[in-house]
Structure 1
Amino acid sequence: MQISFQQLRTIMKESGLPVYRDSAPTTAQYPYIEYEFVNEQHRRSSNKVIADMPLYQIAVVTNGTEADIKPLKDVFNQYGVSYQQFDGFPYDENDSTITQFITYVRCINE
């Protein structure tokens, strides 16, 4: 299902996880969602842009396991949001192992 950026934000918030754009405050509690703009494609007809299609990277940041992405996957599946597979990227933060589980969603803004 194609969704707008505003629909994507609303759906992510329905996961019950806090949602932040670009970066979370230092006081944010794990797990939480961070999203950021990646790029944009255009749908054209007769050499005119009829739709902008921005791509967003969505990361579930956690000090837990892949089980923490389930609430986001559940709402994406409930609303038929097309998303790429999640990839996990661990890193160290303040002597703790933190993992970002990253996916991508393309929106459509007409």
Structure 2
Amino acid sequence: MSVSFQRLRTIMKESGLSVYRDSEPTTAVYPYIVYEFVNETHKRASNKVLYSMPLYQISVITNGTESDYEPLKDVFNIHGVEYSQFEGLPYDENDATITQFITNVRCVN
């Protein structure tokens, strides 16, 4: 199902995880969501833009396991949001191993 950007933000908040745009505050508690704008494409007809379709990268940042992104996946599935498969990327933060589980969602505005 196509989802607008505002609806996507509301749905992410329904997961119960904290949601931040572009970066999190230093006081953020794991797990939390960070989303970023990636690109935008347009649907056109007769040289007119019918609607824009921005792509957002959504990351669940955690010091836990893949079960930490289940609440986000659950609300996406409940609301019919189309998302790409989650991919885990580990990195070090303050000598601790943190995992970033990343997916992408294309919105329609």
State the TM-score bracket (shorter-chain normalisation): over 0.9
Post-superposition CA distance 1:1-27 (Å, at most 9, x none):
000000000000000000000000011
Structure-1 separation of matches of 2:89 and 2:27: 21
Long gaps (5+) in structure 2 = none
Long gaps (5+) in structure 1 = none
Moved >3 Å (runs of 4+):
none
User: 1:29 aligns to what?
Assistant: 29
TM-score (norm 1): 0.99
Post-superposition CA distance 1:39-72 (Å, at most 9, x none):
0000001000010000000000000000000000
1:80 counterpart = 2:85: no
1:56 counterpart = 2:47: no
How many residues end up aligned between the 2 structures?
109
Structure-2 separation of matches of 1:10 and 1:106: 15
Structure-1 separation of matches of 2:22 and 2:77: 24
User: 2:89 aligns to what?
Assistant: 89
User: 1:42 aligns to what?
Assistant: 42
TM-score (norm 2): 1.00
